[in-house]
A and B are shown apart, each in its own frame.
With several copies, the nearest count.
Chain A
Amino acid sequence: MKLVVAVIRKEKLNDVLASLFENDIHGITVSHVQGHGGETEKVETYRGLTVKMELTEKIRLDIAVTDPFVERTVKSILKTARTGEVGDGKVFVLPIEKAYRIRTGEEDAEAVTPVLSTL
């Protein structure tokens, strides 16, 4: 099992989500983060104080998937999150040793297969 961690542009979230859903990836955790990379900094000015904003708002996705799903997940993100301009973000793949579903106590692969009955 892997944890796919992606940092993407804020305005791309909806597109990325849609594409993940299409690829049957339904378990996703989203955080609001700020990023610093090669992007041009914004300059702001408050009553004569000029400041350089080193951080840009970004979205971080954490997606735990079983090994066969990793490629699909990464590809789907790489495709939909791209604009081609500096600042598109990164995808990292981390190893997961163990996963549990809190509701049932199921482990590993079972833990991350969502029940879609309610949809």
Chain B
Amino acid sequence: MNKYSLSLGLMLFGVAFAQGQDPATISWMLVSSAFVFFMVVGLAFFYGGLVRRKNALNTMMMSFVSLGIVGITWSVIGYSLAYADGNRFLGGFGYFMLNNVGLEGEGIPTILDFVFQGTFAIITVALISGAVVERMRFSAYMMFITIWSVLIYAPMAHWVWYLGGDGGWFKNLLGGEALDFAGGTVVHINAAVAALVLAFMIGKRQDFGKKAMLPHQVPFTLLGAGILWFGWFGFNGGSAYAADAKAALAMANSLLAPAATIVVWATLDYFRAGKVTAVGLATAIVVGLVAITPAAGFVTPMSAIIIGIIATFPCYFFINWRAHSSLDDSLDVFGAHGLGGITGALLTGIFATNFGDPEAATGGLNQFLIQFVAVVIAAAFSGVGTFLIASLVKLVLPLRSDDKIEAQGLDVAMHGEEGYSDGEGALLIPVSSSKKAALVAGQVVSS
């Protein structure tokens, strides 16, 4: 630290600069990566607060474990399939096991691109869990996301963001580029469709439609929404890949779109139920952020407000309808991320401006169609792929925990813990007996 590493740093900085690496950009991308990372923690609390007390840990773990699993799959093969040179549809093996992912790189070091993109992969996977909380078997979930992160996420990231050769598939769709600034398609529509399919395959919770399953800690949901919004400034702002006016624009839009959604959502809530609900406000935040994601660097702040307003309607009414339907997408992943993402993607095709850059795309009917096609392809791929992967996992493990465990709550059964406890009536199992027990392999009561 301090001066030594400093001089070392300056030396490297010299090297970096020679390669066209800009410290200010690196600084912003380092921060943005950390911000997107933090969204995973936010999501754990957003989702965790909405479930029942007996499933709080299980729900949070579904986000946290993706930090481990997708962190590893992304470094082993995911990043390679997404960003190593290959064809228009899939990357190659050039970055397998982080080969060739080093300190060099134009603009920013490749290793930093790896980190930034990795946090996107992690959060996408974690988003899916909202549809299957309170009943999906944890081991099946882990197996599912391991495969999904490689076979579904990485290819779609390639289509949208790969720039080598002719670029990814979506770089040239109906003669134009499908615009997706920060991941409306790759992250939100992708995760939402996967969530929908998985919710169908796993079926509804036993109590669904029979009992009121209320959020056990709304403050956690608000905390999660707050952290998500905070982190999203890195998600959208960092997607400018520079600390420039574009990043600032993305940031302003990420402030204004959800602000507009909050206001409209609150108004609808007020007219419908006479009350502005907190869960509603937290949902509005997410919807506004999702909707602006594909557009963040392509539209003016006023357009961002309009996008935030428009996106409220499909999401609001769908979510209200969903609660009474027989579709147990438990935490409304599709209602918020799917419809919000689709609305945002389509509106990007309308509101995009080129900010004086003649080569950039602008909104219009043509662009709208491109966006539409991109949405359809992404949804179809994610839907079919999810179905196949989940079917595969089902061959090995039941996707769903049994009814007794569901009634008891997954925390105790899947994690051997309770979220909140005062330790009363908890008897320590003495060393000797637990040691003996440990000898019996695979037995549950062990030391």
Contacts and interface: CB of A to CB of B under 8 A. Distances in A.
B394 interface: no
Interface stretch (B228-236, B340-348, B411-419): B411-419
B320 interface: yes
Given A11-B407, A14-B211, A48 B427 contact: no
Interface string A7-30: 000110110011000000000001
Given A11-B407, A14-B211, A51-B214, A46 B425 contact: no
Given A47-B283, A47-B332, A49-B212, A14 B427 contact: yes
A95 to B, nearest CB: 27
A53 B416 contact: no
Nearest to B282: A47
Contact of B412 (A44, A47, A52): A44
Interface string A43-82: 1111111111111000100000000000000000000000
Indicate the member of A49, A50, A52 with the most B CB atoms within 10 Å.
Answer: A50
Contacts of B321: 48
Nearest to A57: B54
Contacts of B416: 43-45
Contacts of B203: none
B365 interface: no
Interface in B204-219: 210-212, 214-215
Contacts of B424: 10, 13-14, 30, 34, 55, 59
Interface residues of A, number: 24
A50 B425 contact: no
Contacts of A52: 426-427, 429, 445
Contacts of A55: 424-426
B428 interface: yes
Contacts of A98: none
A54 B92 CA distance: 55
B98 to A, nearest CB: 32
Given A11-B407, A50-B447, A45 B273 contact: yes
Interface in A31-51: 34, 36, 42-51
Indicate the member of A17, A18, A49 with the most B CB atoms within 10 Å.
Answer: A49
Contact of A30 (B214, B407, B425): B425
A82 B434 CA distance: 30
A17 B407 CA distance: 18
A46 B417 contact: yes
Interface of A: 10-11, 13-14, 17-18, 30, 34, 36, 42-55, 59
The 9 closest A-B pairs by CB, nearest first: A55-B425, A48-B320, A48-B323, A51-B212, A49-B323, A50-B429, A51-B426, A54-B425, A45-B416
Interface of B: 210-212, 214-215, 273, 275, 277, 279-280, 283, 319-324, 332, 407, 412, 416-418, 424-429, 434, 444-447
21 contacts: A13-B424, A14-B425, A17-B425, A18-B427, A34-B425, A45-B275, A45-B417, A46-B215, A46-B417, A47-B279, A48-B320, A48-B321, A48-B323, A48-B324, A48-B447, A49-B428, A50-B428, A50-B434, A50-B447, A52-B427, A55-B424
Given A44-B417, A48-B323, 17 more contacts: A14-B426, A17-B425, A34-B425, A36-B425, A43-B444, A44-B412, A45-B416, A46-B214, A48-B321, A50-B428, A52-B426, A52-B427, A52-B429, A54-B427, A55-B424, A55-B425, A55-B426
